[in-house]
Amino acid sequence: MGHVARCIGLIHQLQGQGNELFVACDKNQEAVFREYFKDLIIIPHEGYPFHFGGKGHFGWDLLSRSRSLRSRMKNEREEVKQIVLDNSIDFVISDHRYGFISSEVPSIFMTHQVNLPIKWYEKGVGILHWKLMKRFTFIWVLDDEKSSLAGKLSANCPENGCYIGPYSRFSVYTDQVEKKIDHVLVASGPNIYAEELIHHVLKGKEALPNLTVVHSTSVRLPEGIHEISGSWREKDAVIRSARYILSRSGYSTLMDCVILNSHGIFIPTKGQAEQEYLAERWLKR
C-alpha cells in the first residue's frame, strides 16, 4: 500500500497535465484510488504472491516464493502487452514491478532503490535487480540529485534515469491544517508487522501524550487510545494534524513526512534491510 500511496501523488500530477490514465491494480488498491479519483479508469490486475512469515526473515520469505514470483512476473508481461493493445496505451509506468513492462511502447520504471540494501553475499540479487531495471526505457528515481532522502539507495542514477523528487498522497491537499495532535501512530505494511508495531508502541504509551493510532488491523486497543480505522481520507485528516508521526521507516512514509513538514519517529521492521538503513540514516541526521 506504500506504493499505492505514492502513486496517488503522481496520478494527481499526471491528470493535471492533461493525461488520460489507466491504473492496473487489485480490488483493495482500487478501493483506495477511488477515494481520491472518482473517474479513474481501472484495469483489474493481480499483485505478486508475496507472503511474510512475521519473523523478520525477509530474504527467506522472498526466496521461498521465488518460483511463484517468477511465474507471476512472466505472466504479467503478457498481460501488459494485451493492456497496451486493448487501450492504445502510449507509455507504461511501473512502480518497482519488474514484470510490468512493454516491448510495444516506452516503459518507465519508478523506484527509490537504484541500489538494493544488500549484504556482500547477496551480490547476485543486486546484479539481477540492475539487469531487470535496465530493460526499461526510462528510470524515474523518487529522490533529488543529492540523494537527500534515500542516501545510498538512490545514488548513481543510471544514464537512462532521472531524479523526480518525493511523491506523496498528501500533495493532493492544498489547504493548511493546524498541528494539534501530539503523536499519531501509523501502523501500515504487512498486517503481521503492523500489529507488532502497535503492541510495541503501546508498551510505552505513558510517554506519548495524546496518542492516536491509525491502522487497518484487527488489534483491539485499550481504553483511552483514540483510533482511526476507517477510510484513507479519514486517516489523512488525522495524520496531517500530527506533530509527530510514529511509523515504520518505509520510504513512502518518509516522503509523507517531507511533504507534511512533520517530525518522524521511525521504528524499523526487524530484518527489513531497507527500513533498518533508512532509520539509522535519519537517526544520525
Domain architecture of the chain: domains with CATH:
2-169 (3.40.50.2000), 173-284 (3.40.50.2000)
Yes or no: say if 185 and 28 are a contact pair by the CB < 8 Å rule.
no
Q: Cα–Cα distance between 127 and 156 in angstroms, integer?
A: 15
Per residue, what are the HEC states of the chain? CHHHHHHHHHHHHHHHCCCCCEEEECHHHHHHHHHHCCCCEEEECCCCCCCCCCCCCHHHHHHCCHHHHHHHHHHHHHHHHHHHHHHCCCCEEEECCCCCCCCCCCEEEEECCCCCCCCHHHHHHHHHHHHHHCCCCEEEECCCCCCCCCHHHCCCCCCCEEECCCCCHHHHCCCCCCCCEEEEEEECCCHHHHHHHHHHHHCCHHHCCCEEEEECCCCCCCCCCEEECCCHHHHHHHHHCEEEEEECCCHHHHHHHHHHCCEEEECCCCCCHHHHHHHHHHHHC
Ranges in the chain, pLDDT < 50: 57, 60
Give the per-residue pLDDT at 189. 83
Nearest CA to 2 among 202, 265, 186?
A: 186
Cell 502513486, residue?
7
Task: Starting at the earlier edge strand, list the strands of the sheet with 263-266.
Answer: 226-228, 211-215, 181-187, 242-247, 263-266
Residues 6 or more apart whose CB falls under 8 angstroms from that of 4 comprise 25, 29, 32, 33
Give the per-residue pLDDT at 36. 97
Cell of 100: 510490468
Residues 6 or more apart whose CB falls under 8 angstroms from that of 74 comprise 99
Yes or no: say if 216 and 229 are a contact pair by the CB < 8 Å rule.
yes
Yes or no: say if 240 and 173 are a contact pair by the CB < 8 Å rule.
yes
